[in-house]
Structure 1
């Protein structure tokens, strides 16, 4: 396989942000671009989103609240749906 150089111009901050994400995914810029190009050819178009699942601030707060409730012995728990409905007056 013969290789060639690909020179592109992009905003420095965009490049830096992408490199941080690729690094978290265990990739470098060259590997990430090659994945994109090969998959584009295979799919005959822009084929995929490669991203980290990062919860937004509301979801993070909900997770933290759920964890606090799960470990708080003073919070009433329910072992069946009928008891829960009764408590909620549904």
Structure 2
């Protein structure tokens, strides 16, 4: 039997649960999936998939200039005046769906 080494990682509980559900359907134990990922890191000499921000990422307040911030605030005020409003429950569901938060 090959020697092994332990890897400990902190993962959000919901992500872990969702990953376990997928891996169970595939018949792959979590430890094997982590091992496959690490082997691919070695073979690819980097992360084995593309890493980029989603096209519809929310705007980060800290990254805006004052002019950009004012423009975004004005867009929001115009939406409110036009009746384009959503409940907090709707916004929360969409944020969870689109961004996992």
**Which structure would you say has the larger RCO, counting Cα contacts within 8 Å and 6 or more residues apart?**
1
**Normalized against structure 1, the TM-score is what?**
0.49
Q: Look at both structures and tell me which one has the larger radius of gyration over its CA atoms.
A: 1
